[in-house]
Structure 1
Amino acid sequence: MILPDVLKPLDAALDATDRTQVLAAAWETFDVAEQVADAVAFEDSSDELQALVAAQASSAGQILLPLPESGRPIDVPAPAQGAEGLAPYVSLLRHAQVALERMAAEPEVEEDGRAVLQEAADKAAIAAEALAAVREQ
């Protein structure tokens, strides 16, 4: 699985120590995943329902997070054919899930914030599972 170059900074930002940077990267990850799910939804070999679940979970996760203060939309490259073409995006969603769970576990996070971060992490997990299943056939 090779992550497209345009997504490497996003992947690295999910490991940042700056909470704002991690939240922005998670927000962008959800945006990227939704774009990819939308792009593959109507391919002949795709499971449209799983693509829809991935897109909806990504949108729901994104809504839970604050809008990034800066940056520009990422021009998402078309995924390669087959299940392996979606693997980098599934991996990115799983990385966002781990980053959000890590933030939710920090002791200084208030209970309300913890719940929101965990819910966003859960949405990332759902989106990853669904996106992985889009081309399993």
Structure 2
Amino acid sequence: MSASALLRLDTQLDSKDVAAVLAAAWDVLSMTTGLCDSITAEEDSDELQAMIAAQKCSEGRDRLPLPETGRPVTAPPPEPGPAGLIPYVRLLEHVSDSLTRLSAAETADEGTSRALSQVKDLASGAAMALAAVRGQ
């Protein structure tokens, strides 16, 4: 996966199509779970924060519906240092913002709104934990 694939996910999170946004959120959370698992043992990284981020991403992903189409998304290896995780932190923050927008929509019923709010909080928490992995 390349930076252009990350950009496509970022763009998809702004879609007016609810299914597209939920699929992108699922993909980001799934991809970031794998990324966090892979960087847990990095030297000079906070493994606890990486595990917390992975757990929150996994929990959030499990609360979303499976995407109807597409293939699993894999993260390109992050650049070294704190700046290497910034694109992933920003994607998680964008997931949180997009789910806030969906949960506030007039068409969202109370149960859906509550579930989206929970996933939004998990994505936000994952972003904070991931930002701390390399001392950002």
CA shift, 1:75, in A, is 2.8
Q: Does 1:95 align with 2:94?
A: yes
Matched residues, number: 135
Structure 2 unaligned blocks of 5 or more: none
Q: Which position in structure 2 is the counterpart of 1:17?
A: 16
- Distance in 2 of aligned mates of 1:74 and 1:51: 19
TM-score relative to the length of structure 1 = 0.95
Give the RMSD, CA atoms, in angstroms. Answer: 1.1
Residues 29-53 of structure 1: CA deviation (Å, up to 9, x unaligned): 1011111111111011110000000
Distance in 2 (CA, whole Å) between partners of 1:66 and 1:60 is 12
Deviation per CA, 1:72-99, whole angstroms, max 9, x where unpaired?
A: 1123210000110000000000000000
Q: State how 1:1-137 maps to structure 2 within 5 Å.
A: 4-136=3-135
Identify the range of structure 1 (17-26 vs 67-76) with the bigger mean alpha-carbon deviation. 67-76
Distance (Å, rounded) in 2 between the aligned partners of 1:35 and 1:6: 16
SS of the residue corresponding to residue 112 of structure 2 reads: helix
d(CA) in 1 for partners of 2:5, 2:22? 18
**Distance in structure 1 (CA, Å) of the matches to 2:104 and 2:39:** 34
Runs of 4+ with >4 A deviation: none
The Cα shift of 1:6 comes to 1.9
Whole-angstrom distance in 2 between the partners of 1:35 and 1:8: 18
Identity between Structure 1 and Structure 2 (%)? 44
Q: Which TM-score applies when normalising by structure 2?
A: 0.96
Provide the secondary structure at the position in 1 that maps to 2:102: helix
